[in-house]
């Protein structure tokens, strides 16, 4: 049973409003998140509170970030709202650092987030990885496949490499369009992402990783001796112990990070021997 009747609200397509209406799935998500009153949970896009009102049974305090004023006004009316701190904001510009009050209480971010912002949000959260314990998100199935794909897989690409550089990613379960109102056109997946304590590449080199992967994946089936010719010569690839005959889709995340590290050192005009000492932030 849902807390607020759908009949009193017209969903906004532009804000990716597909509300969960399947009690079984809602409970499965709660079970997957495993909320506990020691945790500081942060929900993105509570909408009509399908997840919110149940999560409130497990915690003393919940932070929610909702862009739609009408929905945040809805939330304020319910009994559980005394436990909820509402930020009426666009999550893509939200500074998560300000929610971090105690050393021993990392944030647990979760939500059934709009498909059109999921990738941007996952990237935005990388900036706050030191304050986050885990991220539990509903994403489009195709995005989950790309996030988790390994080299050689047809879904492996820039998103897989950048996300896996900063997060350990775990698959939860798939969700059919029938679990939502209105029904989306595609299947969804629920996933967990845990920021890596020691990412494969310091954050300040992420833009280089983006640059190199965009270069490589423009021609994913070509050997990198050709596709990366403009930025790495063959000798450099040998020096880095990377086989120039490989294709963009076959290189591991570690190999892309090695290339980015090297390129960074080149940009800074340093001796490549010392590239690993540049920055450990």
Q: Which is nearer to ligand SAH, 17 or 260 (CB)?
A: 17
Using the rule CB under 6 A, give the single segment among 62-70, 153-161, 197-205, 209-217 that binds ligand SAH.
62-70
Label residues 20-45 b or e (16+ Cβ within 10 Å = b).
Answer: bbbeebbebbbeebebeeebbbbbbb
End-to-end CA distance of the chain: 47
Q: Which is nearer to ligand SAH, 11 or 199 (CB)?
A: 11
Which of 3, 16, 229, 231 is in the footprint of ligand SAH by CB under 6 A? Answer: 16
Are the C-beta atoms of 62 and 108 separated by less than 8 Å? no
Q: Which is nearer to ligand SAH, 110 or 264 (CB)?
A: 110
Are the C-beta atoms of 84 and 52 separated by less than 8 Å? yes
* 151 binds ligand SAH, rule: CB under 6 A: no
Q: Which is nearer to ligand SAH, 17 or 213 (CB)?
A: 17
Binding pattern to ligand SAH, positions 177-206, x when CB under 6 A?
A: ------------------------------
Report which secondary-structure segment, H or E, holds 145. Answer: helix 141-148
- The torsion defined by the Cα of 35, 39, 43 and 46, in degrees rounded to 10, comes to 50
Q: Please name every residue paired with 168 in a beta bridge, in sequence order, or none if there are none.
A: 194
Which of 4, 75, 91, 212 is in the footprint of ligand SAH by CB under 6 A? Answer: 91
Report the nearest approach of ligand SAH to the CB of residue 180 (Å). 8
Which of 4, 55, 81, 114 is in the footprint of ligand SAH by CB under 6 A? Answer: 114
Q: How many Cβ atoms sit within 10 Å of the Cβ of residue 185?
A: 8
Are the C-beta atoms of 132 and 197 separated by less than 8 Å? no
* 22 binds ligand SAH, rule: CB under 6 A: no
User: Which residue ranges make up the site for ligand SAH (CB under 6 A)?
Assistant: 15-20, 44-48, 50-51, 65-68, 71, 90-92, 111-112, 114, 117
């Amino acid at each position: 049973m849902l807390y607020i009747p759908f009949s009193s609200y017209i969903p906004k397509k532009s804000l990716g409003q597909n509300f969960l209406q399947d009690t079984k799935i809602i409970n499965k998500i709660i079970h997957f998140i495993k909320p506990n009153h020691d945790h500081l949970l942060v929900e993105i896009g509570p909408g009509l509170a399908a997840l919110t009102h149940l999560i409130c049974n497990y915690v003393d305090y919940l932070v929610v970030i909702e862009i739609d004023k009408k929905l945040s006004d809805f939330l304020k009316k319910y009994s559980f709202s005394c436990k909820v701190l509402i930020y009426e904001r666009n999550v893509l510009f939200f500074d998560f650092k300000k929610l971090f009050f105690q050393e021993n209480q990392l944030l647990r971010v979760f939500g059934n987030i709009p498909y059109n912002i999921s990738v941007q949000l996952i990237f935005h959260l990388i900036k706050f990885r030191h304050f986050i314990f885990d991220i539990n998100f509903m994403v489009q199935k195709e995005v989950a496949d790309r996030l988790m794909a390994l080299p050689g897989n047809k879904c492996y690409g820039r998103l897989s490499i950048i996300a896996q550089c900063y997060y350990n990613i775990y698959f939860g379960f798939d969700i059919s369009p029938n679990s939502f109102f209105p029904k989306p056109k595609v299947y969804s997946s629920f996933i967990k992402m845990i920021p890596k304590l020691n990412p494969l590449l310091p954050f300040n080199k992420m833009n280089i990783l983006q640059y190199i992967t965009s270069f490589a994946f423009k021609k994913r089936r070509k050997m990198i001796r050709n596709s990366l010719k403009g930025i790495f010569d063959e000798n450099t690839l040998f020096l880095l112990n990377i086989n120039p005959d490989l294709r963009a889709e076959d290189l591991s995340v570690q190999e892309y990070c090695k290339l980015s590290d090297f390129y960074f050192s080149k940009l800074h005009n340093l001796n490549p021997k010392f590239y690993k000492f540049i920055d450990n932030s």
